[in-house]
Amino acid sequence: MNNVHTVAVVLAGGIGARVGLGIPKQLIKIAGKAIVEHTLEALDASPDIDEVIVMMNAATIDELSHLLGSGRFAKLTRILPGGETRNDTTRLAIEAIEGDDTKVLFHDAVRPFIDDRIISDCVRALDDYDAVDTAVPSADTIIEVDERQHITGIPPRSRLRRGQTPQAFRLGVIRRAYEIAAEDPDFTATDDCGVVFTYLPETPIYVVDGTAENMKVTEPIDIHIADKLFQLQSASLSLDGGDLADLSGKAIVVFGGSYGIGASIVVQAREHGARVREFSRSTTGTDVGSPKAVRKALRAAYEEFGRIDAVVMTAGVLNIAPLVETPKQEVKRTIRTNLLAPATVAREAFPYLEETGGEVVLFTSSSYTRGRAGYSIYSATKAGVVNLTQALSEEWAESGVRINCVNPQRTATPMRTAAFGEEPEDTLLDPDHVAWVTLRMLTVPVTGQVINVRLHDA
């Protein structure tokens, strides 16, 4: 049984009409990658999967052709055109695969949060069953209604499940079910287990437990939920305890590293083996708002190290005053330092990071989620940094350069003390902890994320 070939078929034939963004939903980018790419990463990484085939919307199949032979997905062998319906697509996939004993997992391209446990459970269950479904208990009461919208039945919720994918089969069984279905002029089914259930009723279908996270991106709100799930995953990865990984050989440039969080990043990075260059107005006379000055700094670091693996931008200014009372020069300085400078650093760092597959880390503030009286321009610039991060993660996805944004809660820094005065220590984050999270992010393969660092996590 252990030598049976296992194929994961990614069903990517949807057109995304309900999402309403004008492109197939599987191609919508979240966390810097198309949704289908996240799904492929999970399947490709599973030790239980031998081969991956994508059944793509025929009209947009060229959108994924670059993934074949790219080296990113070693198990991806074919990208084939799907049919007009879900069932047509499954038929085409069945025709493309050989061997009645082959284990086949059909999985929705727009369920990017599939995990190793679900995959493994499905594959293992096929040792004892010919058909396997994935489902979760229903949290809602399900009712039956008639054509008049009158309730005709209320099934006991304890026995109800909401279906997910993968749906897994021995190839010979699902092939036979579709052959019988093809002879039925009234054939209709919403999923593949439904075909087996209807046309091979003697075949038991085992149910594997799914997860709430294994959601399907279908409606516009699902995109926002999925993006937040990726952020939560990233935060978990960055705060999973333990010591920092060995950074030996890494070349890191820190802008704004003379005090506060930036200084802590410099110290910790060096303690863990990294080679670090720090640039700031007070220590090196570097104006982060000047493209020429940033370019000069990066060139100096590159000439010294021969490479740049990460660029961290912590420099910022915070001025507390109503907008109408803020001098024009202060407004310009805030925008220049807090928004234009991160854009400049990211732009100038890109060529160096493209060589190493490196990363830019920017900093935002909790005020980016809602502008607050007294520091409207500061809040606006921090919201801009978040949008910049998310946009560049998409622009840079094919280059291998990552960009993420750290969002620390109130932190005990000189900049904050200057703006707010002395505050109780137990209400502020330690800059060393924020620095630790920042450096931890350099070892996590995510992009386009806003990593929240809260006091209760410290």
Question: Looking at the structure, do residues 340 and 208 belong to the same domain, yes or no?
Answer: no
- Total domains in the chain come to 2
452: confidence class by pLDDT, cuts 50, 70, 90 = confident
The pair phi, psi for residue 333, each rounded to 5°, is -65, -40
pLDDT recorded at residue 17: 47
How many residues belong to the chain?
A: 458
Q: Is the model more confident about 167 or about 2?
A: 167
Assign residue 396 the CATH number of its domain: 3.40.50.720
Establish if 226 belongs to a structural domain. no
Band of the pLDDT at 1, cuts 50, 70, 90? very low
Of the two residues 17 and 251, the one the predictor is more confident about is 251
pLDDT higher than 60, residue 119: yes
Contact indicator for 203, 173 with CB cutoff of 8 Å:
yes
Domain-embedded: residue 141: yes
Instruction: Please name which of 390, 411, 398 lies closest in space to residue 342, comparing C-alpha atoms.
Output: 390
Q: Is residue 224 domain-resident?
A: no
Average pLDDT, integer, range 223-244: 65
Q: Report the distance separating Cα 353 and Cα 361, nearest Å.
A: 12
Pair 209, 323 in one domain: no
- Nearest-angstrom CA–CA distance, 272 and 249: 10
pLDDT at 70: 78
Lowest mean pLDDT among 21-25, 135-139, 154-158, 420-424: 420-424
d(CA 124, CA 133): 12
- Give, in degrees to the nearest 5, the angle at Cα 246 between 32 and 363: 40
Q: How many Å apart are CA 31 and CA 425, to the nearest integer?
A: 34
**pLDDT band per the 50, 70, 90 thresholds, residue 65:** confident
Average pLDDT of span 214-225: 86
**Which domain does 400 fall in, by range?**
239-457
Same domain as 85, residue 187: yes
- Section 78-91 average pLDDT: 91
* Angle 15-227-31 from CA coordinates, rounded to 5°: 85
Taking only the tens place, the pLDDT of each residue in 144-196 is 999 999 999 999 998 899 999 999 999 999 999 999 999 999 898 889 999 99
Assess whether 14 and 151 both reside in one domain.
yes
* 222 located within any domain: no
What's the CATH code of the domain at 204? 3.90.550.10
Sheet arrangement for strand 161-170: 76-81, 51-56, 6-12, 103-108, 161-170, 131-137, 205-209
Among the residue ranges 36-40, 47-51, 375-379, the one predicted with the least confidence is: 375-379
Q: Give the pLDDT band (50/70/90) at residue 321.
A: confident
Query: Is residue 136 located within the same domain as residue 274?
Result: no
Q: Are residues 194 and 312 in the same domain?
A: no
Sorting pLDDT into bands at 50, 70 and 90, what band is 270?
Answer: very high
- Whether residue 1 is contained in a domain is answered as no
> Which range, of 1-15, 40-54, 72-86, averages the lowest pLDDT?
1-15
Pick from 80, 12, 4: nearest CA to 48: 4
Query: Do 398 and 274 share a structural domain?
Result: yes
Residue 232 lies in a domain: no
In a domain, 121, yes or no: yes
- Residue 232: pLDDT band with limits 50, 70, 90: low
Residues 378 and 257 in one domain: yes
Residue with tokens 């303690």: 271
Confidence label for 113 from pLDDT (cuts 50, 70 and 90):
very high
Q: Are residues 195 and 288 in the same domain?
A: no
In a domain, 233, yes or no: no
Shared domain check, 265 and 194: no
Tell me the C-alpha distance between 121 and 216, whole Å: 19
Q: What is the pLDDT of residues 328-380, one digit of tens each?
A: 999 999 999 999 999 999 999 999 999 999 999 999 887 777 777 877 898 89
Q: So what's the pLDDT on residue 147?
A: 94
Looking at the structure, tell me whether residues 267 and 178 fall in a common domain.
Answer: no
Q: What is the pLDDT of residue 443?
A: 82
Q: Give yes or no: residues 54 and 89 share one domain.
A: yes
Q: What is the pLDDT of residue 18?
A: 47
